[in-house]
Structure 1
């Protein structure tokens, strides 16, 4: 009886031949990463849009903040796409694919700076949902590389969320 309990509790053993993931595991990992990638891509373009079109009394602060955030998003997008390639799969890569897949939607340019900040805060909620979903799928499939990568992104998104939320509560 004791042996059967120990066998059940053993972690999943990977062969690491071709990363050691089954087709199903690979499909689950890539699907969740592609959804995250699409949301980051639309978020990135929205940040660039806002960076170019923000105006008003807080222009310099918001303009600079959006630029820093879209530069970071660009790096994250590249890393997620490369992680998908590590699994031998193709990342989403066209605007059509991104827009069809993303929960984050495009925004116009006729917004105040504060409205833009609040829109980005909403995007961070969506990104966090997808980051946590990706972490969950990575854990379920024994993919510590993706899990670790996503946890780093969570910290960054949470910090940006906090900073923009603090800014948006101006007196």
Structure 2
């Protein structure tokens, strides 16, 4: 005779047991998550500095529009950088934090100050595409490791980045 408890245990999915580690993630899972987030952090940090460079040095008839947009975007990038770094700290790890490390790790590269306003916009659009690749990678790693907190954090960054990509792309098609 089968009891209700036996039926319930057969139909309920079993939660995967994790070896004890900080937050319940193994050392390998933590390393994968932190590596992906550090790569995103490095790209975001170079992107942030590029936005500040462009904000300070944009010229031309679209100055007021672009100058203001770059400021809004670097302020938002600053918040995302802080969120990613603090998420790495949640895992008990130290986030990457030097410009040397950022520049060595980042797929986004520095730009000069002698670009036209539209060249600057084009550079930022390319940066957003690179950032989105890294965001999707972080999400994939987080999903594979059962890290819904990181997925939630990065999903909001994806929405913001996709919207800014669309807006700058629309602006540059004058």
The alignment's TM-score, normalised by the length of structure 2, stands at 0.90
Query: Equivalents in 1 of 2:23, 2:56: separation in Å?
Result: 42
> How has the CA–CA distance of structure 1 residues 17 and 24 changed in structure 2, closer, same or farther, with 3 Å as cutoff?
closer
Query: Equivalents in 1 of 2:134, 2:109: separation in Å?
Result: 15
What does the per-residue CA deviation read over 1:56-102, in whole Å, with 9 as the maximum and x for residues that have no partner? 00000000000000000000000100000000001000000000000
Residue 141 (structure 1) aligned with residue 135 (structure 2): no
Match of 1:47 among 26, 34, 51: 51
> How has the CA–CA distance of structure 1 residues 148 and 16 changed in structure 2, closer, same or farther, with 3 Å as cutoff?
farther
Residue 67 (structure 1) aligned with residue 80 (structure 2): no
> How has the CA–CA distance of structure 1 residues 57 and 16 changed in structure 2, closer, same or farther, with 3 Å as cutoff?
farther
Deviation, 1:16, is 7.2
The structure with more radius of gyration: 2
> Contact between 2:43 and 2:131, CA under 8 Å: does it hold in 1?
yes
Give every structure 1 segment of 4 or more consecutive aligned residues whose post-TM-superposition deviation is greater than 6 Å: none
- In the TM superposition, 1:88-103 aligns within 5 A as 88-103=92-107
Q: Where do 5+ consecutive residues of structure 1 fail to align?
A: 1-5
What does the per-residue CA deviation read over 1:104-153, in whole Å, with 9 as the maximum and x for residues that have no partner? 00000101100000000000000000000000000000000001101000
Q: Where do 5+ consecutive residues of structure 2 fail to align?
A: 1-9
> Contact between 1:12 and 1:142, CA under 8 Å: does it hold in 2?
no
- In the TM superposition, 1:1-171 aligns within 5 A as 10-14=14-18, 18-170=22-174
- Root-mean-square deviation (CA), in Å? 1.7
Count of aligned pairs:
165
The equivalent of 1:3 in structure 2 is: none
Deviation, 1:12, is 3.0
Query: Equivalents in 1 of 2:44, 2:130: separation in Å?
Result: 10
Deviation, 1:167, is 0.2
